[in-house]
């Protein structure tokens, strides 16, 4: 029995024609990517009349290429391309009208431009959000991405993101303004699935026939009969499909049969919007009638009678899904109808949600102005400054809020960037900025008053420039740390006038005194050199800038000496850099960690050893010995050390964003990371551990892997820390070492605990526990649980087969279940009681990267109409760029 589609608000709309910004291409952006600006830009493409421009002014990176395979068959805009061998994210920046719906279309064709015959795969982003994956290994003849989208700012970034070893590329980029009263959605943007007109032809229709330059592809089936007219068909409604599209239609050859279009979606959760265009284009006899119902998603519309030589468009206000991924669209003749149903054209779109808000627009404008002022050309300074976090601009940090809230820039570090000129006025528009570092540049002029008005600032470093004048009084307020040394013409307070020359006698005395001091210094240096022993001890070493090797002894220990080429600091220097040990940032069993500042601007962490701890000294020595010979982006690096008598300290790079445990718990208002971000951190921590196991000779075992020893640096890059318990394998190829048991309860490998035989698989076990913490946010030892240890608790919960009972509830179900299951299986494999059944860290890295790819592609599944579904009306993307 047929049911009405009234509840779905499917209706026929007739409206006045909207010819806005149409025939004159007003508002159109047509970029021929890779076309040199000197090579006749702009030019009018002869087949469409579209005016194409070189893309050089819209992107700061990339190189140009030309197709090699059948280049003469391609229309001019598709003969060149821009490719991006450098950087991860490369972005176009376009000025458009905020709040207005736009058709955004990009075309991609490899055609062996580089002679390597390797078709690339990469991701396409719209601002900070994943749009779709471009896979030219499948679409070897080229593909296009097209979306109807309303920008939330006047600047639109379209970014190509490298996801593997192949090089992203783009052939054309086109933006077309649309009317806001068309293609209205409940939420999200509309990704093109298919736009067809029913004609037995191989031609496509676009501008100038379509005033919005939508591309219509012909589609026809053998079960249909084509009808056509030479008379003009009115297209006077707000969708304005081309009159050429409406001049033909299809009807079922069997007049009793329905007209059916079917396709299969690979994602059963895909939501569809359909726009169906009808026009009666036959002269009907007096007793002839054409009446039919539209059947979609199991629902049947009220009867429809197409209007003679005039467009009717029906659509839904709300999206629908296809049951089981099987999509079936039908037109069925009613019992009263003499003639079969008729269809002229059909548009199908899938809903694409873009949940991540762009960075606050005022902050974006401000940082873009700063970029322009200082002519900064960093390849990472493209696209949205703050999000997604893995692509955050170098030298920036931003507030971490929910995805619906625009991030704010809180940290700007342009230290040692070679910038010149005065302090940029655009900085004052970063109203949430807390830390500003402009040190070690060539800035001139006065320190501006506006810095004192930025009440959010707590740290300013303008050291080692050539600034002059006096420091504004407002910058001496309480709570603001201002570093300004290295600016000889900068005055602290009062007048900046140079003092008048001293009277003659005073000048003479001063000169004589200076000469005397120089003579005394030279004599002392000569005496010191004569008396210096051949072996340098802990208290009589040469200055740190001279000696590449220093032996450090410890008064209460017989442990062998430490050999290091890192900088050696005096205890007085350690006291000064920590401001007399004012700020504690961490505590361990044998030490306290303080915040310090080196050279007036470089932040460091200073671990000071308890003077009464012999065991602590052993860890101190082990940590120095290890960090002297390792260097990796995911290991905390050592800046130097202090070994002055009983005063022992290690000076590390400062890692500003705390440890992983803090973020998982949300302690102190710190954000709880998303699933994708947790996987990214897991990958980075695993890479650090893999380096210790596989990249060091001899291999190194960390022995204390846990969430509190995974620190998060700028842009939240994960770094392994605390190597006091680490051990190296002995030379000779042994597979294990025997050692006194050490580690943290809960993370300690049970096999190592039983046998005292330490292997790299002991670290794998600990990492498995860390991974379980990241998945569940449960304590490793839970006294309130029936199953106290986290592995037992997870094993018990796995019996239910419901992963939601295991995943951290703070994630609120926002994760790819496939990647979650794989990560959970990996974690349990790492934490297997038998070391022989645990994977290597190299294998762990591979598996985690696969999980991350799965999660990152979650939002894009089904977005690409050419790869996400097997569809009988698939678009021939090779058609519209071809010159035929």
872 neighbors 879 (Cβ within 8 angstroms): no
Three-state DSSP string of 224-290: EEEEECCCCCECCCCCCCCHHHHCEEEEECCCCCCEEEEEEECCCCCCEEEEEEECECCCCCCCCCE
642 neighbors 571 (Cβ within 8 angstroms): yes
Which pair of structure tokens corresponds to residue 126? 């719209």
User: What totals of helices (H) and strands (E) does the chain contain, helices first?
Assistant: 13, 50
Cβ neighbours around 872 below 10 Å, total = 13
Q: Which element (helix H / strand E) includes 619?
A: helix 614-627
User: What phi, psi does 231 have (nearest 5°)?
Assistant: -80, 160
Give the sheet arrangement for strand 80-83, strand by strand.
63-66, 80-83, 169-170
Q: Which residues contact 659 (CB under 8 A, 6 or more apart)?
A: 707, 708, 709, 710, 711, 712
Whether the bond between 388 and the residue before it is cis, its omega within 30 degrees of 0, is yes
Among 384, 659, 704, 749, which one carries the catalytic annotation? 704
The β-bridge partners of 44 are 51
Please calculate the CA angle 716-718-722 and round it to the nearest 5 degrees: 130
The β-bridge partners of 827 are none
The β-bridge partners of 54 are 32
364 neighbors 153 (Cβ within 8 angstroms): yes
d(CA 749, CA 745): 9
d(CA 264, CA 283): 36
Full DSSP string of 503-539: PHHHHHHHHHHHHHHHHHHHHHHHHHHHH--SS--SS
Pairing mode, if any, of strands 466-470 and 442-446?
parallel
d(CA 877, CA 237): 28
Full DSSP string of 357-390: PPP-HHHHHHHHHHHHHTT---TT--S-SSSSGG
Binding residues for ATP: 607
Which pair of structure tokens corresponds to residue 662? 């803090």
For residue 402, indicate whether it is catalytic.
no
Helix axis angle for 675-690 and 817-830, nearest 10°, is 30
Distances (CA, A) of 534 to 190, 537, 539: 77, 10, 14
- 3-class secondary structure, 73: helix
* CB hemisphere CA count around 585 (13 angstroms): 19
Cβ neighbours around 314 below 10 Å, total = 18
Give me the active site residues, please. 704
């Amino acid at each position: 029995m047929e049911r009405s589609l009234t509840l779905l608000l499917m209706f026929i709309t007739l409206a006045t024609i909207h010819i806005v910004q149409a025939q004159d291409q007003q508002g159109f952006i047509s970029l021929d990517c890779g076309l040199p600006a000197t090579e006749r830009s702009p030019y009018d493409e002869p087949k469409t009349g579209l005016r194409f421009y070189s893309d050089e002014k819209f992107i700061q990176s990339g190189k140009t290429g030309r197709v090699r395979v059948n280049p003469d068959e391609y229309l001019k805009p598709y003969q060149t391309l821009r490719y991006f061998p450098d950087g991860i994210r490369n972005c176009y920046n376009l000025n458009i009208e905020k709040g207005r719906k736009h058709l955004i279309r990009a075309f991609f064709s490899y055609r062996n431009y580089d002679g390597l015959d390797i078709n690339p795969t990469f991701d396409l982003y719209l601002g900070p959000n994943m749009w779709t994956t471009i896979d030219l290994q499948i679409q070897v003849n080229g593909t296009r991405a097209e979306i109807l989208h309303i920008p939330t700012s006047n600047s639109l970034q379209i970014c190509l993101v490298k996801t593997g070893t192949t090089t992203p590329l783009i052939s054309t980029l086109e933006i077309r303004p649309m009317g806001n009263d068309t293609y209205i959605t409940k939420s999200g943007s509309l990704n093109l699935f298919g736009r067809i007109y029913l004609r037995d032809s191989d031609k496509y229709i676009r501008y100038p026939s379509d005033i919005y330059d939508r591309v219509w592809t012909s589609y026809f089936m053998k079960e249909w009969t084509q009808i056509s007219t030479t008379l003009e068909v009115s297209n006077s409604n707000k969708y304005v499909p081309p009159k050429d599209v409406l001049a033909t239609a299809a009807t079922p050859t069997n007049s009793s049969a329905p007209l059916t279009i079917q396709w299969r979606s690979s994602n059963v959760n895909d939501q569809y919007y359909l726009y169906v265009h009808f026009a009666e284009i036959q002269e009907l006899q007096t007793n002839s009638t054409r009446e039919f119902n539209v059947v979609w998603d199991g629902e049947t519309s009220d009867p429809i009678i197409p209007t003679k030589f005039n467009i009717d468009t029906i659509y839904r206000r709300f999206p629908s899904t296809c049951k089981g991924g099987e999509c079936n669209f039908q037109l069925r003749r009613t019992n009263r109808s003499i003639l079969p149903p008729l269809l002229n054209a059909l548009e199908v779109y899938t809903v694409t949600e873009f949940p991540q808000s762009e960075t606050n627009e005022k902050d974006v404008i401000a940082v873009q102005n700063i970029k322009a002022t200082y002519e900064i050309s960093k390849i990472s300074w493209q696209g949205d400054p703050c999000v997604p976090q893995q692509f955050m601009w170098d030298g920036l940090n931003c507030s971490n809020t929910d995805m619906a809230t625009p991030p704010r820039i809180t940290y700007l570090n342009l230290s040692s960037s070679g910038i010149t000129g005065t302090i940029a006025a655009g900085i004052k528009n970063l109203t949430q900025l807390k830390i500003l570092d402009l040190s070690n540049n060539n800035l001139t002029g006065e320190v501006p008053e506006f810095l004192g008005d930025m009440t959010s600032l707590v740290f300013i470093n303008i050291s080692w420039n050539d600034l002059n004048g006096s420091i504004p009084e407002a910058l001496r307020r309480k709570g603001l740390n201002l570093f300004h040394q290295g600016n000889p013409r900068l005055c602290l307070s009062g007048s900046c006038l140079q003092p008048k020359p001293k009277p003659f006698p005073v000048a003479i005395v001063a000169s004589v005194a200076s000469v005397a001091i120089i003579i005394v210094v030279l004599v002392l240096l000569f005496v010191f050199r004569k008396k210096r022993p051949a072996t340098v001890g802990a208290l009589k070493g040469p200055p740190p800038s001279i000696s590449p090797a220093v032996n450090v002894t410890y008064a209460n220990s017989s442990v062998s000496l430490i050999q290091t080429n890192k900088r050696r600091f005096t205890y007085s220097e350690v006291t000064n850099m920590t401001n007399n040990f004012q700020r504690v940032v961490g505590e361990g069993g044998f030490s306290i960690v303080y915040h310090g500042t080196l050279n007036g601007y470089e932040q460091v962490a200073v671990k000071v050893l308890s003077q009464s701890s012999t065991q602590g000294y052993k860890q101190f020595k082990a940590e120095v010995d290890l960090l002297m010979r390792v260097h990796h982006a995911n290991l905390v690096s050592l800046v130097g050390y202090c070994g002055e008598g009983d005063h022992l300290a290690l000076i590390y790079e400062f890692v500003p964003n705390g440890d992983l445990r803090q973020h998982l718990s949300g302690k102190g208002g710190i954000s709880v990371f998303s699933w994708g971000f947790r996987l990214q951190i897991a990958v980075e921590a695993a890479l650090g551990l893999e380096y210790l196991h596989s990249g060091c000779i001899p291999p190194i075992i960390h022995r204390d892997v846990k969430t509190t020893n995974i620190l998060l640096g700028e842009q939240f890059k994960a770094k392994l820390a605390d190597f006091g318990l680490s051990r190296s394998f002995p030379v000779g190829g042994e597979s294990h070492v025997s050692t006194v048991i050490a580690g943290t309860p809960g993370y300690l490998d049970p096999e190592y605990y039983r046998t005292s035989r330490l292997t790299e698989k002991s670290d794998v076990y600990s990492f498995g526990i860390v991974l379980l913490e990241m998945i569940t946010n449960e304590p490793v030892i839970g006294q309130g649980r029936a199953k106290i240890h986290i592995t037992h608790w997870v094993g018990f919960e796995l019996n239910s087969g419901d992963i939601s009972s295991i995943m951290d509830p703070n994630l609120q179900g926002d994760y790819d279940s496939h990647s979650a299951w794989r990560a959970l299986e990996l974690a349990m494999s790492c934490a297997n009681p038998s070391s022989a059944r645990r994977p290597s860290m190299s294998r762990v890295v591979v598996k985690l990267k696969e999980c991350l790819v799965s999660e990152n592609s979650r939002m894009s599944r089904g977005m690409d109409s050419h790869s996400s579904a097997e569809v009988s009306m698939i678009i021939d993307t090779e058609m519209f760029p071809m010159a035929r």
